[in-house]
């Protein structure tokens, strides 16, 4: 929304909870509430919208709803006459990487049920592409961080450090990982909306480079002014904790990401857009800490 507003675009924010949308976007966008599982309601909410960015999130225990919601949203978009739709996805559908850097042509062999549901969602989106009617594309992003990234691994880490606790890391904290800065991703998404030649396929957008969980925690701790403590969470801890905590139970099948990380290769996107601007981790972490402190006041 920040990126659209900066470019003078008229925006509509659609979601289930009007109160939450008002808190985030009041005065910056037209607010329309709708349950995306209700195709008729979703079509009404999309009335007059020419371009849509689909970034619906679901709690891990409800990931099976991703293809269901995707199918309903695509049908609603067709009925409403939406011309272009970008579907934001993750790295889950790629499964365990077969290469140091994962390109768009890397096999998608999901390692987890969550990856399978994401793959089904992505396949539905690409199959719906019809030039001159509803045009679609899928954008794969790694873990995200920065302003507004309250539902993220990075936020949980920084929140723990700011509370004087150790930052928890899933898997090996010394293995390479990558994060994408939210404003960088927003810029790419809005750029893609204006590139009809980019639709009909999947794209990767990577972070500024690999970083370990320990290094990320050190950057955050330096900004916060605390000790950069990191606590690695292994499979047995997740399995044991999962007996009492549904979220920990759901994380077990994602443990492979901390052991065999998926690092994206985005040279195709760079060639299509001409260049890709990426915020260094030092600057991005600083801005995220500032945002978290402001939001906590």
Beta strands in 142-281 (DSSP E): 143-145, 167-170, 176-177, 179-181, 202-204, 211-212, 230-233
Q: CB-based contacts of 65: which residues, under 8 Å, 6+ apart?
A: 37, 58
Instruction: Please report the pLDDT score of residue 40 as a whole number.
Output: 94
Q: Is 27 left (phi over 0), alpha (psi -120 to 50) or beta?
A: left
- Among 174, 157, 177, 179, which residue's Cα sits nearest to residue 166? 157
Specify the pairing of strand 176-177 against strand 202-204.
unpaired
DSSP notation for 249-277: HHHGGGTHHHHS---B--HHHHHHHS---
pLDDT per residue over 55-69, tens digit each? 999 988 899 999 999
Q: What is the pLDDT of residue 34?
A: 93
pLDDT tens-digit map of 136-185: 999 999 999 999 999 898 999 999 999 999 998 888 899 999 999 999 99
Give per-residue pLDDT as tens, 211-265: 999 999 999 999 999 999 998 875 645 555 554 565 666 666 777 788 899 999 9
Q: What burial class does residue 206 get, using C-beta atoms within 10 Å of its C-beta: 0-12 exposed, 13-18 middle, 19+ buried? A: buried
Closest CA to 162 of 213, 232, 211, 222: 222
Taking only the tens place, the pLDDT of each residue in 75-117 is: 999 999 999 999 999 999 999 999 999 999 999 999 899 999 9
Quote the pTM value. Answer: 0.94
Exposure letters 116-137 (e unless 16+ CB within 10 A, then b): bbbbbbbbbbeebbeeeebbbb
Phi, psi of 203, rounded to the nearest 5 degrees: -130, 150
Q: What is the pLDDT of residue 241?
A: 57
What integer pLDDT is reported at residue 171 of this predicted model?
A: 84
Top-tier CATH class for 34-296: alpha beta
């Amino acid at each position: 929304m920040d990126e659209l507003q900066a470019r003078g675009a008229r925006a509509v924010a659609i979601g289930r909870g009007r109160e939450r949308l008002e808190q985030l976007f009041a005065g910056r966008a037209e607010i329309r509430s709708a349950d995306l599982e209700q195709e008729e309601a979703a079509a009404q909410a999309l009335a007059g919208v020419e371009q849509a960015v689909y970034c619906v999130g679901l709690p891990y225990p409800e990931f099976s709803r991703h293809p269901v919601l995707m199918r309903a949203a695509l049908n609603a978009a067709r009925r409403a006459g939406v011309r272009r739709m970008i579907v934001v996805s993750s790295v889950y559908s790629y499964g365990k990487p077969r290469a140091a850097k994962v390109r768009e042509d890397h096999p998608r062999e999901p390692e987890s049920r969550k990856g399978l549901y994401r793959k089904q969602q992505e396949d539905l989106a690409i199959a719906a592409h019809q030039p001159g009617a509803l045009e679609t594309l899928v954008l794969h992003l790694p873990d995200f961080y920065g302003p507004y990234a309250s539902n993220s691994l990075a936020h949980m880490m920084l929140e723990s450090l700011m509370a004087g606790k150790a930052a928890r890391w899933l898997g090996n904290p010394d293995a390479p990982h990558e994060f994408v800065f939210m404003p960088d991703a927003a810029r790419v998404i809005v750029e893609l909306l204006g590139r009809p030649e980019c639709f009909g396929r999947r794209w990767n957008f990577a972070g500024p480079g690999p970083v370990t969980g320990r290094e990320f925690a050190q950057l955050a701790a330096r900004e916060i002014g605390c000790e950069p403590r990191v606590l690695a969470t292994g499979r047995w801890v997740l399995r044991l904790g999962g007996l009492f905590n549904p979220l920990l139970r759901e994380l077990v099948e994602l443990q492979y990401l901390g052991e065999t990380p998926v690092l994206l290769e985005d040279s195709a996107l760079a060639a299509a857009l001409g260049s890709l601007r990426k915020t260094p981790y030092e600057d991005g972490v600083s801005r995220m800490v500032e945002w978290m402190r402001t939001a906590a006041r």
